A and B are shown apart, each in its own frame.
Chain A
Amino acid sequence: MSKQGVNRIESLRRRWIAYQLSADVVLALGIGLLTGGLGFYLMALPVIWGLIIFAVALTVLVFTHKPWNVHNSDIAGYLSKEYPDLQESTDLLLQPAVHMNTLQLLARSQAKVALDGLKVSHAYFAKRFKFAVLLLLGAVVLVWVVGKVIPHHHTGVFWSGDKESAKVIGPSEKVLPQIDGVELIVNPPAYTGKGKRTQDRFNLTAEEGAVVHWSIKTNIVIKKAYLIFNDKERIALRNMGEGTEWSASRMIDKPGFYQVSIDGKLSDLYQMQVVKDGPPVIHVKVPKQYTYIDAGEVQQVNISAALNDDYGIANALIIATVAKGRGEGVKFKEYKLNFNTTFGDRKAQYDVQKLIRLPALNMEPGDELYFYVQAQDTHQQQSRTDVFTVAIQDTAELLSMDGVLSGANLKPEFFRSERQIIIDAETLLKEKDTISVEKFNARSNDLGVDQKLLRLRYGKFLGEEDETVEGPKGADNLASPEDFSNASKILKEYTDDHDKADDAQFFEPAVKAQLKATLTEMWKAELQLRLYKPQAALPFAYKALRLLKDLQQKSRSFVAKTSYNSPPLKPEKRLSGELDKIIQPANRQDIKAPADNQLVLKNAVGVLEILKLKPLLATNDTRTLQLANQRLSEIASMQPGAYLPALGAMRRILSLQKISLQDVNTVERAIQKTLSAVKITPKAAESSTDMGLSKSYYKNLKQVNN
C-alpha cells in the first residue's frame, strides 16, 4: 500500500534531480558557448577552449548544487506545503506504518489517496531549467551577433590561425591529376632541436640541412616518377608498392623549386624555402668599449653579456689578452676565460656574467687588457664581439715630465703644481706613521690650500671670479674733481666691465668643458685634503692631472688628409738637360665593356610587350623567351618565394597555350624587379635631317662676324 506512495515520491525526486542536472548541463553549455565564442571571435582562441570551459563549468555547477542530495522527505515537505489536499501528512507515507497511531494511519491513508489522484505540476521543478535554457538562447544570439559583426579569419576547429602547424605555405598549389595524395616528412637537422613534422602540400619550408621525405600516392598505376629540382637535378621516386605509392628523400640545403614528373608529365613548380640558421648574437652590456681604471679604484672588471641564437647556444668564451710593458718591450699573454654559466641545456638565450680581477691576471698599473666574447651555436657557427679594452692607469707615466717638456708651452707650471700636490700627498701618506696627528692634519690642510690656489688659477682661464680680492676696488680713480658725475667712469669702477664669464676666454667649448671637469676634480681633491684624508683625495687629484694632460694633447693641431694634385711642369724653368735619349712611353690596349648579363631579360621585355598587343609568339621570340626563362629559373632557384610564380607564368607562355595577359604581366613585373639600375654613361646628341641647313647657318654667321 504505502509502497506506491513512496514510489510516487521517489519518482518526483528523480524528476527533480533530472531537471536540476539538465539545468546544470544547459547552463554550463551556455557559459562554454559564450566564453568560447567570444574568445574565438575576439581573441582568436581555439574553439577547444569553449569545450574546456564547458567541462569545468559543468563540474563546478553539479558539485556545488549536488542535486542528488535531495531526499524523499524534502519532496514530501514540498508536496505538503504546495498541495492542501494532502493535509500536511505526506511525510507519514515515508515512515513505517508499524509505529503509527490510529490517527496517523488515517491521515496516511487519506494522504495516499490524495497523492494518487494528485497531478504534480512540472513548473516548480523546471524553474531553474527554464532559466538555464533562456541563458543558453541569449548566449547563442550574442555569439551569433558577434560573429556577424567581427570579421573572423579562417581557422580550423581545433587550432588557432597563427599556429605553426596550420601555417599556409605559399600560394595554393595545383597537383597532377594522377596524384591522389602526398605526404612530406620534414626531418629538421639535429642542431635545431626540432622534431619531425609532416605536411600534405608540395610547397615546403625547411631548416637548412633538413632531410625531406616525399611519399606520393597515385590513383592509377604509373611507370616512372621523378622529382626535378631547379630544372637540373633529377631524383627518381622509388616504387613502394604496385606502382601507386612512390617515395624519395633529399637533403635541403639551398632554396629553390622542384617539379614532380609522372610518366613524362610535369607538374606545377613548387617552392622550397630554406630557413637559415643565423650565427649567435652577442650583446655586451658592461663594460664599455674602453674602460679606464684610475688609481685608487678597484682593479676589476665585470663583464655582462646577452647571447641569442635561433636554436641554441653551445658555448661562449671570453678571449682575453693582457699587454704588459711598452714600446719594444711589450709582451702579450692570452687567456681563455669561461663564463659562470654552463651551456649544457643549449637554450636559445643566455644572460652571462663574469667578474675578472685584474691582479689575478698579473696585471699592474700601465697594463692593458683586451678581450672579446666569442659564442658558438649548435650549428657550429661562431660569432665574436669587437675588442673591448680595459686599462689600468699608470701613475708613473702620468707623473713623468716627458710629454710636458717636449709639448707646447701650455703653462707647464700648473701641471707641475698638480703633480707636486700628488707627490706631496703621497709623501705625507708615507710619513703618516712617523709624524704626529696634528702635523699630519696641518700638512694635509696646507696641501688643500695649495690645491685651492691651483684651482683658482685655472678658474681664471674660465673667466671665473677671483675669490681672493673681495669688495669694490679702491675708489681712488674717482677722486679727481673732473670725474664728478661721470656716469661711465663710475660704472666702470663699480661694475665688471668684462664680458660674460661664460664667453670670455680663449678656449673652444669642448676644451672649456674639460677644464670645468678638471676644476670639479680639484674641488673634490681639496675637500678630501681639508678633511685630512689625503688617501681619498688622491684619485681626484690623479683624475685632474689626467684631464690636464689630455687638454695638453688636444692643443696640438690636426691636419686632415686631402687629395693632392701635382702642379703642372714649367719647362722654361726646369728640365733644361738633354732629353734626346729619353723615349716617349706609348701604350695601347683594348678594353671591352663588360657584357650585360641582364641582356636576355631585357630582350624578353620587348617580346612580352609585343605579346601584350598581339598574343602570338614568333619563332625568334620563342628563342628569346627561352633564354630569359633559363635566367629566370636561376633567379627563382635562389629566391623561390619571389620569383616562382613568374617562372610558372613564363612556362605557360612558352608552352604556346593561350597566352594570358595576366601571365605576361607577372613575368614583366618579375623582370622589372630583377633588373638592376642602368649605368649612366656619356652619349652624343643626334643630328637632325636638315640638308646641311644648320651647318651653312654657322658658316654664314662666321662670315658675318668676320
Chain B
Amino acid sequence: MQANWIYIVMITCIILAIGLVLQELRRANKHWLLWRVLAIVVACVGLACIALPLSYQIRVALKDKHKTTLLTEGFDVDSLDKNAKQVTFDEDIKKAFPHVQLITPKEINKTDQLHIYGYGLTGSDLQQLAGRSIVFHQANTPAGTTNLSYTSRLKTGDVLTVQGSFNNTSKQKVKLVLKALNTGLDSVIVAPKSGSTFTLTTLPKTSGRVVYTLTSDGETQGSLPVEVNPVKTLKVLMLSASPDFESKFLKNWLSGNGYAVASRAAISKDKFTTEFINIPQFPLDRISASTLNKFDVLIGDLSVLSNLSDAESAALKQEVTDNGLGVIVKADSAGGKSSWLQRGFPVDRPSGKEPAPATLLINGAKSLNKLGAGNAYINYQNGTQPLVTGAQNHILANSALSGSGKIVFTTLNNTFSWMLAGNKADYTTLWSALITKAARKSNDLADESSAATLPVTGQPTQLTVLDSKRLSVNINGDNIASIQHLNIPFEWDVLYRPTAVGWQFVHQNGNTNWFYAYPQTDWLAIQAVAKISATKNYEMLNEKTDIVTKQIQETVRINVPKIYFYILLLAACTFLWAETKIS
C-alpha cells in the first residue's frame, strides 16, 4: 500500500503537471511562459511532496535512558532534571526535600549514569565511587571566604599575615574582622557583589597557642589556630676595624636581650680588645673554622673581612657555603684587596652633599623616623634581594645566597643615632631584619605535619608527616598506621579522623606536632570550593572511556517537515495567479 501510494501520487502529479503545462503552452499570451511552466512544475512537485511521507535517516549516539541525580549541598533546584531519579548522601537535603532518596555511596545504581549537582563530594566520598564516571553540574562559588593562607607557627615578634579571597554575593559591603582574645585586631571592607582578595595583619602579643577568628559582619567565618613560640637566642660574632659606636650599640642591644655576643675590635697593630657576653671566653686573635662553628652570624667590617689571612678567609668561606653561617658585612671606606664577600654588592659612593635624612624601607615597611644614611649605596645586581632601601630607592642593605649560607651587605654605619635619639623601634626592626635574614638555620625542625585538606571533625583527614626515621605516629593517644611515600623517603602519609574540635597532637619519634581540627561549620566556603575542585578533578580523571571506542549508535528516521512544501506550493500558485491578473 505504501509503495502503491507513492506511485499513485507521483503519476497523478506528473499527469497533472503535463496537463497544466499544455494548457499554458496553448495560451495566446506568451508572456513569461518559461516562468509559468517552471511554477507549474514546482507546484506539482510541492503537492507531491506534501502527499508523500518524506523522511531521511541519520545515525545518532544512543543516550542513556536511565540517569541518577545525586544532590549535594549547594545545588540549584531549577537546574535539576525532573525525570531523573534523585538521591543524596546528605541528611539535611533529605529533610528539605522529602521526595529525595537518602542512600549511602554503595547503594548507587551501578548501571545508571550519575549526575552530581551542587558543590560535589569530598575526596573520601569520591573514592567510594570507585572510578565510575560522573557528570558534574557545578554550583556557583558560595559566598564567604573561599581561600585562606597564613602561617600558623610563628616566633615572637613575627607579624601574623592572613591573606585570602572573599566572595561577597550580597548587595551590601561586608566588613571582615580578624579577632583574637575577643578583640578586633584588623579589619577590611569587601565591596558589594564582588570577589576580592584581602590581607589582614597583626603582631601577636601573646605566646603559645591561640585561636584567632575571622568574622564577616559579626558572623564567624572560621578559626585560625596560631602558635607563637619564643625566640631562641643566637650567637653573634662581631669583628670591627676599630672600636666604634655602631658595634657598641649593636652589642649592647643584642646582649641585653640575652644573645651571646663575642666581639673583637682592633685597637692597634695586631692588638685587639675582645669582649665575651653570655659566652665562654676563648682566643679570638685568629679566626678558625671551629671558632666560626660556634656562631650563627658573623657581623664584620669589610676592611677586617677583606684583610683576613688566606687560611682564615678559606675557613670562613667553607663555613658559609657548607655549614650555612650567615655574614653581615658593613661596608667601610677601606680600599685594598676586594673580598669574595663583596661580589654581588658593588657600592656606589657619589661625592658631594650628603642627602637629607629620609625614612627607610625595611623589608617593605616604612621606618618611623628618618635616618641620614650617607652617600654610599649598593647597586642592584641579579641574584640579590634588597632588604633596606633609602631615599631615591637606593639600596642600603642587600642580601644574597652563598652556598647554604647567606651574605648580607650594608652601607649603613650610623644606625646607632636612632638609638641615641630614643628611637628603639626602628633600630630593632632594622637589625632584626638583617640578622634574621643572615642567621644560620637552627636545628629546630620546622612544621612536620601538614594536612592535604582542611581537617574537619568527623571527616577523614590525610596528613603528611615528615620524618627521616621509620615512623610510628601517635595522634591523641592512638597509634596510627603510616605509609611511606614511594619517591620521597622522609614523607609519610597518615589518615586520621579527628573526633573533637581543637588541637590534635601528633607524636612522632619523640617530637610533638599539632594540627587543628575545625568544627564542621568553619570555613564553609573553603570546604565547598575544595569539594568542587575534588569533584571536578575526579570527573576529569574518570572520563567515560567507552564513548570513544564503541559508542552505541542507532539510525533514526526523521520526517521532513511538510511546511516547506506548503510554502513552495503556495509561492508557485501565487505567482501563477498574480501573472494572470497582470497580463
Contacts and interface: CB of A to CB of B under 8 A. Distances in A.
A663 B501 CA distance: 21
Contact of B417 (A563, A569, A606): A563
A686 interface: yes
Interface of B: 155-157, 180-183, 203-211, 231-234, 241-242, 244-246, 254-259, 266-278, 280-281, 285, 296-297, 301, 303, 321-322, 332-334, 372, 403-404, 413-414, 416-417, 420, 425, 428-429, 431-432, 434-436, 439-448, 466-468, 489-490, 500-502
Nearest to A674: B205
B508 to A, nearest CB: 10
Interface in A203-261: none
A669 B208 contact: no
A568 B466 contact: no
A562 B425 CA distance: 21
B211 A676 contact: no
A603 B208 contact: yes
A683 B180 contact: no
Which range contains the number of A residues in contact with the other chain?
Answer: 35 or more
A414 B209 CA distance: 79
Given A563-B416, A695-B404, A682 B242 contact: no
Interface in A569-606: 569, 571, 574-576, 579, 582, 584-594, 602-603, 605-606
Given A672-B206, A681-B432, A682-B435, 19 more contacts: A565-B245, A568-B303, A568-B332, A569-B241, A576-B269, A579-B271, A582-B268, A586-B281, A605-B206, A609-B209, A672-B182, A678-B203, A678-B204, A681-B231, A682-B431, A682-B432, A686-B442, A690-B468, A698-B403
Interface of A: 562-563, 565-569, 571, 574-576, 579, 582, 584-594, 602-603, 605-606, 609-610, 612-614, 665-666, 668-669, 671-673, 675-691, 694-695, 698-699, 701-702
A686 B273 CA distance: 34
B277 A590 contact: yes
Given A680-B432, A682-B435, A569 B446 contact: no
A665 B1 CA distance: 92
Contacts of A671: 181, 206
Central interface residue in A563, A594, A602, A687, by most chain B CB within 10 Å:
A563
A389 to B, nearest CB: 29
B191 to A, nearest CB: 30
Given A565-B246, A575-B269, A687 B442 contact: yes
A668 B257 contact: no
A678 B274 contact: no
A689 B271 contact: no
Nearest to A676: B205
A683 B234 contact: yes
A672 B180 contact: yes
Central interface residue in A586, A682, A694, by most chain B CB within 10 Å:
A682
A613 B502 contact: yes
B439 A672 contact: no
Contacts of A565: 244-246, 413-414
B195 to A, nearest CB: 31
A701 B321 CA distance: 11
A586 B275 contact: yes
B232 A684 contact: yes
Contacts of B246: 565
Given A679-B157, A682-B435, A684-B442, A593 B257 contact: yes
A584 B272 contact: yes
Contacts of A593: 233, 256-258
Nearest to B434: A682
Contacts of A691: 468, 489-490
A578 B206 CA distance: 58
B157 A680 contact: yes
Nearest to A686: B446
Contacts of B259: 681-682
A613 B501 contact: yes
23 contacts: A568-B266, A569-B241, A571-B268, A575-B269, A576-B269, A586-B281, A587-B274, A587-B275, A587-B276, A588-B280, A589-B276, A668-B181, A668-B182, A669-B183, A672-B181, A676-B205, A679-B156, A681-B156, A683-B232, A686-B444, A687-B444, A689-B446, A691-B490
